[in-house]
Amino acid sequence: MVATPTERRVWQRYSRRERWTRFVLLLLVVAVLSWAARDVDIFWPWVWDAPAQIYSLADRMWPPDPRRLGEIVEALVETVHIATLATFSTIFVALPIAYLAAQNTTPNRACLWFARFVLVASRSVNTIIWALLFVAIFGPGVLAGILAIMCRSIGFVGKLMGEAIEEIDRRPVEAMEAVGASRPKVILYAVVPQVVPAFFAVIILRWDINIRESTVLGLVGAGGIGVILQGAIDTFAWPTVATILCGIVILVLLGEVLTGWLRSRVL
């Protein structure tokens, strides 16, 4: 009986510590947020004015101007081409890298770390920044756009495929080794069939994302609908901008419908 109050006190202290931790965490979050709000370089009168400004911009956009529709549709098709070609060519680079980046198939540690470095570098640099780099190298145009989308997709596809390879059932691999198959044949028969579903899922998902991404490439000069959008914004042709924006929404929704259909067919 004597021990009971002590135990309870210990228990209370622990609970108090927990509450204390939560309080400090909350305080920290509030402090960081208020620092961010006070320190950020914002001219506050503009903030109060923002709704009116946004309304005025929206007002200038209405009604959408369909006169350049033909040109816009052409640019949208070009955007899809960029996304598709980039996704297609990504496959040929991402799969070998995924093979090197999976712990169970990589030939040695050096290859593993090299491949992981490539994947991280590719994933950490945003498509727009890749586009900036390739526009500087190859000049404005669709090639820069395709390469930019490719470079960003390699990391995405490579990482997910690498994980898929790491998750395969090891037993067929063992069986193929036991029949005396060489390394390439083991991969062909025991690894490839097991990762095919993951491959289609990842490629379809990335194609969907790439359509969204390729709508902005043109803003840095890398082709697609973004070029017309930038031009329309620069010339204050707001009704045309509205048409382009509607076009992008429709394109993205169509892409979503198509990928949903493909997914249900293939998987």
Partner 1 sequence: MVDDKARTWRKPPFIASPVVRLLLALGVLGYLGLALATLPFDWERISDGLPRAARIFGGGFPPSFERFELLLTGFKESFQIALLATLLGVALSIPFAVMAARNIAPRPVYLVGRAVIIVSRSFHPVIVAILFVKAVGFGPLAGILTLTLYSIGFVGKLLAEEIEEIDWGQVEAMRSVGAGFMATLLYAVFPQILPRQLGLSMYQLDSNLRASAVVGIVGAGGIGGTLMNAFGRYDYDFAFAILLVIIAVILVSEGISGWVRRRLW
Partner 2 sequence: MLEISQLVKRYGHDDPVLKGLDLCVEGNSVVSIVGASGAGKSTLLRCINRLIEPTSGSIRLNGQELSSLKGAPLRQARRRIGMVFQGFNLIDRLTVMENVLAGRLGYVGFFQAWRRRFPPEDIERAFHLMERVGIAQYANKRADELSGGERQRVGVVRALMQEPDILLADEPTASLDPVTSEQIMKLMRALASELSLPVLINIHNVAQARAYTERIVGLRHGRMIFDGTPERFDAAALEEIYGGIEAPDETAVPSVAEGGR
Summarize as ranges the residues that interact with partner 1 (CB under 8 A).
Answer: 32-33, 36-37, 39-43, 46-47, 49-50, 53-54, 56-57, 78, 81-82, 84-85, 88, 120-121, 124-126, 128-129, 132-133, 136-139, 141-143, 212-213, 215-216, 219-220, 223, 226, 229-230, 233, 241, 245, 248-249, 252-253
Pair 89, 263: CB distance under 8 Å: no
Closest by Cα among 207, 201, 205, 209 to 164? 201
Q: Minimum Å distance from CB 4 to partner 1?
A: 33
Taking CB under 8 A as the criterion, which residues in 149-188 touch partner 2? 169, 171-172, 174-182, 184-185, 188
DSSP for the chain reads: -THHHHHHHHHHHHHHHHHHHHHHHHHHHHHHHHHHHHHS---HHHHHHHHHHHHHHHHHHPSP-GGGHHHHHHHHHHHHHHHHHHHHHHHHHHHHHHHHHSTTT-SSHHHHHHHHHHHHHHHHS-HHHHHHHHHHHH-SSHHHHHHHHHHHHHHHHHHHHHHHHHTS-HHHHHHHHHTT--HHHHIIIIIHHHHHHHHHHHHHHHHHHHHHHHTTGGGGTSSSHHHHHHHHHHTT-HHHHHHHHHHHHHHHHHHHHHHHHHHHHH-
Q: Minimum Å distance from CB 169 to partner 2?
A: 8
Taking CB under 8 A as the criterion, which residues in 95-114 touch partner 2? none
Taking CB under 8 A as the criterion, which residues in 186-245 touch partner 2? 188-190, 193-194, 196-197
147 or 195: whose CB is closer to partner 2?
Answer: 195
10 or 120: whose CB is closer to partner 1?
Answer: 120
242: number of CA atoms within 13 Å, CB side? 14
70 or 180: whose CB is closer to partner 2?
Answer: 180
Q: Minimum Å distance from CB 263 to partner 2?
A: 18
Contacted by 171, from partner 1, partner 2, none: CB < 5 to 8 Å by type:
partner 2
Q: Minimum Å distance from CB 81 to partner 1?
A: 4
Contacted by 24, from partner 1, partner 2, none: CB < 5 to 8 Å by type:
none
170 or 236: whose CB is closer to partner 1?
Answer: 236
Interacting residues with partner 2 (CB under 8 A): 169, 171-172, 174-182, 184-185, 188-190, 193-194, 196-197
